[in-house]
Chain A
Amino acid sequence: MSLSAPEAKPNGFLSGLPFWRPDGWTIAALVVAGLVATPVIVVMASLLVPAGDVWRHLADTVLPGYVANTLLLMIGVGLGTLIIGVATAWLVTMCQFPGRALFEWTLLLPLAVPTYAIAFTYGGLFEFAGPVQSALRDAFAWGRGDYWFPDIRSLGGAILVMTMVLYPYVYLLARAAFLEQSVCVIEVSRTLGRGPWRSFVEVALPLARPAIAGGLALALMETLGDFGAVQYLAVSTFTTGIFRTWFGLGEPIAAAQLSAALMLFVLALILFERSSRGGRKFHHTSRRYRALPRFKLSGSTAAWGFLACFTPIFLGFLLPGGQLVAWTLETASTVVDADFLVLAANSVMLASATAVIAVVVALLLAYGHRLRPGPLLAGATRVSSMGYAIPGAVIAVGVLMPFAWFDNQLDSLMREYFGLSTGLILSGTLAALIFGYLVRFLAISLNTVEASLGKVTPTMDGSARTLGLGPGATLARVHIPIISGSLLTAALLVFVDVMKELPATLIMRPFNFNTLAVRAFELAEDEQLAESAPAALSIVAVGILPVIILTLAIARSRPGHWSDKSVG
């Protein structure tokens, strides 16, 4: 609605609504939010459908086991990641010992290893016929049944492998929080008579608590969403239950209801994370930053510090990575053929398409919110980014059910009126799969794009607008060139997550369509571990990219660390 002369016509029915006018940005944002919310709504709505005998059967037989295993898994992984993540973050940030600078970023490397990949490399390493037990038998001349060895295919094994690749979430956020803390509050604590250890417990740790809780919540969301590792290690949780009910029993409604029950765990996690943050955003009272004076460890303490940092890297990256390399060397000549290249191409194609769409949609939402600040678009943006908390299997169920319903309705309609069958149009297509990925990973691109848009001052929008550019042209000529680096980062992060994704792909992929992740998992399930290694190793190699990005980002994040050398 614009006018340029006094005689322009009055603006009709909209004149009563000067604060809200439907425009392209708002409508687009609401549509995206609605689409992203659909799977969750479908899953939750399934609770209203009576499932009858199947559900009663599940509740009587397997459900208590799912709940118990899921809870124990969360407690175990939660404690493990908390201890390893916080301890290593504190050591590399506040202490000085040999190897510290290297550990700073190598501690993130296990993040590159998907849970299913570490699960089956550990399975291969520690099974009866594996190299570890074989070596023990050779060394001590034991036979079968002469000795006790912990079974990797157990709840304990699942906790171990997941802890070893998920602790970096806690490490990452704890370290960022420790770096942000002004050295002054620590020094004040020291002058008030607290030693370095007491200062850590009484000052630094409470200040970092919201960040640590955030990292823990992320690690636990991954734990809840995992399918490949628990399936391979034969631990029955909600995700394996959803698969069994959907594919084994052929009961989509019951599978959706299991998904809804799993969502309650996710909800509890989100509430936990919110409450640990809510009202407790600590403001840094001092604005002075200096290079942190690190506490020097020497002799045996230094050795312990080194060991404390090296062990998680060894168990979470070097050991599984090394085994994958060994297997790959063994089998690459037979496995890496034309079919393998097709798998890789499929993975790359899916990941690139999702990455581009996710960045474009994120830009649309974030810029729309900037143009029309207000609760409506803020809410739409929040809804659109909730998918990250939802397990891939749940999203798959929530996407497939409405798509299948739509296909069936259309098919019967076409049959009735035109006598032809349309078959499946949406479900079981790449479009459905990419839509599922988008629901799950939009939050990643949205967070990155929002943060970088925030750094373009609003006065630049104002300048561009008064210089004659409309909103779209301003986006193209001012915002996108300024934030192009962050857009690339966002796309890369989404790309890697799609490459690693397993459960949603397993459920939603078109018939006979495979990706690297799916192939690696299927071969491992058939105990062809060595043959699965090249695909898994490719995924790990791609997964190292975001570790590099995160390392660079965290180094820049500390105020006064790089740019502000004159201060202090």
Chain B
Amino acid sequence: MDALTLQGVCHAYDGELAIDSIDLTVGEGKLVCLLGPSGCGKTTVLRVAAGLEPVQQGRVFIGESEVARPGASTPPEERGVGLVFQDYALFPHLTVTENVAFGLKGRPSVERLGTPKQMLDLVGLADLAERYPHTLSGGEQQRVALARALAPRPRLLLLDEPYTGLDIHLRNQVRDETLRVLRMAGISTMIVTHDPEEAMYMADHIAVMRGGRILQQGTPSELYNAPANAFIAKFLSDVNAMHGTVEGGKVPSIFGCLDANGAAEGVRVDVLIRPEALSLSSEGGRPATVAAVRLLGHSSIVTLAMDDDGSELRARVRGMDAPAEGDKVSLALDKLQSFVFPCADPTSDE
């Protein structure tokens, strides 16, 4: 049985549609990421699932129970959903233990006294049990918020941009730690994020949103290997963008003919090539001149001027394998990592 099901859900703020016909399922024990740029409505989906916003159309189920439909909504306190906000929203007047115990009111005293300690052990904060939130670091606060949301043993856990408040070094560490805790708790989870790398790293299933709609959903590899449109391809990774026209069912390019991906004859298309799809060698590919090299550490980005038409392309190579500026090289394309979409796609400009 699925932990969360949204069927054709719409929500409008003051008459402005924020999410439109959302169909989404979080399977039992699965981790689903809602991925999209800011303002795409992903946080609204999360608030609808938590019961903090009503729905104007569609239905929401948690487990088998219907919790929302137009005009009726189970209040958040009766849904059994855990929620971790972006700002953690720890109660400043309560200690860490009291924060974690907050949702256990009315439970048997064994649970009220025992669970907070278990949860703090789980997130590794047993030492800080009597401290107040403002004395904790950002990463510690995030873990307290997670423990607090997990303590009442919710059916479903919702996390809103859980790592944006943290600096980059802490972020990777907290992310691994959170994943470990979620796995041990075995809880169904929905995470909202704008960071594609984070989504692909964590999720079993990703739904990409834009303008209040879900554009595509699937496993990380499905999305990465077969993006449904140019927007998703550009959002998930850096790309080189070129233009072409379909001729004889193929798209001619300097790297030879590419598959038209179903585009009709004579249609102008975007050709999107990931930097890692281009490989440098001394011969066998198209001739190019190295215009610039930027070392990023684990890889280098090489900007190349193509001898064929003077266009510039970026290729990603291993950090130490980069050529020098001004070198003549030969460039080959891995056609599996290049994508062709019709230009008519209104989402292709951004």
Listed in ascending order, the chain A residues whose CB lies under 8 Å from chain B are: 1-6, 8, 11, 14-15, 18, 457, 459-460, 462-470, 477-478, 481-482
Which has the most chain A C-beta neighbours within 10 Å: B65, B76, B145, B154?
A: B76
- Contacting pair B52 A4 (CB below 8 A): no
Report yes or no: B72 in contact with A3, Cβ–Cβ below 8 A: yes
B114 CB–A CB distance under 8 Å:
no
19 A-B contact pairs sorted by A residue (CB < 8 Å): A3-B74, A4-B67, A5-B66, A8-B66, A8-B72, A11-B71, A18-B56, A459-B88, A460-B89, A462-B47, A463-B83, A463-B85, A465-B51, A465-B52, A466-B52, A468-B77, A468-B103, A470-B75, A470-B77
Most buried by A among B72, B86, B87, B105: B72
Instruction: Count CB-based A-B contacts (< 8 Å).
Output: 100
B residues contacting A by CB (< 8 A) are 47, 50-52, 54, 56, 64-67, 70-79, 81-83, 85-89, 91-93, 102-103, 105-106, 145, 148-149, 152, 154, 158
Q: How far is the CB of A308 from chain B (nearest CB, A)?
A: 42
Q: B89–A466 contact, CB under 8 A?
A: no
Q: Which residues of B contact A460 (CB under 8 A)?
A: 89, 91
Identify the closest chain A residue to B154 (Cβ): A466
Indicate whether A4 sits within 8 Å of B78 (C-beta atoms), given known contacts A18-B54, A18-B56, A466-B83.
Answer: yes
Note all chain B residues with C-beta closer than 8 A to A8.
Answer: 66, 72
Check A462 against B72 for contact (C-beta < 8 Å).
no
Other-chain residue from B66, B73, B81, B105 in contact with A466 (beta carbon distance below 8 A): B81
Expressed in whole angstroms, the Cα–Cα distance for A15 and B54 within the complex equals: 13
Determine how close the nearest CB of chain A comes to the CB of B1; give it in whole angstroms: 14
The reply to whether B102 and A464 contact each other, CB–CB distance below 8 Å, is: yes
B74 touches A462 (CB 8 A): no
Contacts of B70 on A, CB cut-off 8 Å?
15, 18
Chain B residues whose CB sits within 8 angstroms of the CB of A462 once the complex forms: 47, 50, 52, 76, 83, 85, 89
Could you tell me if A466 and B50 are in contact, using CB atoms closer than 8 angstroms?
Answer: yes
- The smallest beta-carbon distance between A486 and chain B, in angstroms, is 13
Interface pair A2/B77, CB less than 8 Å apart: no
**B71 with A18: CB separation less than 8 A:** yes
With a cutoff of 8 Å between Cβ atoms, the chain B residues found around residue A11 in the complex are 71-72
Nearest A residue (CB) for B62? A4
Across-interface contacts of B47 in A (CB, < 8 A): 462
Are B71 and A1 in touch, CB under 8 angstroms?
A: yes
Choose among B56, B75, B89 the residue that contacts A463 (Cβ–Cβ < 8 A): B89
A482 to B99, CA, bound (A): 13
Interchain CB contact under 8 A, A469 and B74: no
Give the complex CA separation of A539 and B85 in angstroms: 49
Closest to B145 in A: A463
Q: How far is the CA of A124 from the CA of B105 in the complex (A)?
A: 64
Q: Complex: how many Å from CA A481 to CA B91?
A: 10
**Given A469-B105, A482-B93, A2-B73 contact (CB < 8 Å):** yes
Contact B72 A2, beta carbon cutoff 8 Å: yes
Q: How far is the CA of A14 from the CA of B70 in the complex (A)?
A: 11
- The residue in B51, B52, B89 that gathers the most chain A C-beta atoms within 10 A of its C-beta is B89
Given A11-B72, A15-B70, A459-B87, A466 and B77 contact (CB-CB distance below 8 Å): yes
A residues in contact with B77, CB < 8 Å: 465-470
Query: Separation in Å of the A437 CB from the closest CB of chain B?
Result: 31
CB contacts (< 8 Å) of B89 on chain A: these are 457, 459-460, 462-463
- Chain B residues closer than 8 Å to A469, beta-carbon distance: 77, 105
A contact residues around B88 at 8 Å (CB): 459
Question: Which residue on chain A has the smallest CB distance to residue B89?
Answer: A459
Task: Evaluate contact between A5 and B50: CB separation under 8 angstroms.
Answer: no
Pairwise interchain contact A465-B75, C-beta atoms closer than 8 A: yes
CB of A399, distance to nearest CB on chain B (Å): 38
Q: Which residues of A contact B75 (CB under 8 A)?
A: 2, 465, 470
A14: contacting residue among B71, B74, B87, CB under 8 A: B71
Residues of A close to B86: CB separation below 8 A: 459
Contact status A5-B65, CB under 8 Å:
yes
Interface contact A481-B149, CB-CB below 8 Å: no
Given contacts A467-B148, A468-B103, A482-B91, contact A4 B83 (CB under 8 A): no
Q: Which residues of B contact A5 (CB under 8 A)?
A: 65-66
Smallest CB–CB gap between A279 and chain B, Å? 23
> A470 vs B102: C-alpha distance in the bound complex, in angstroms?
13
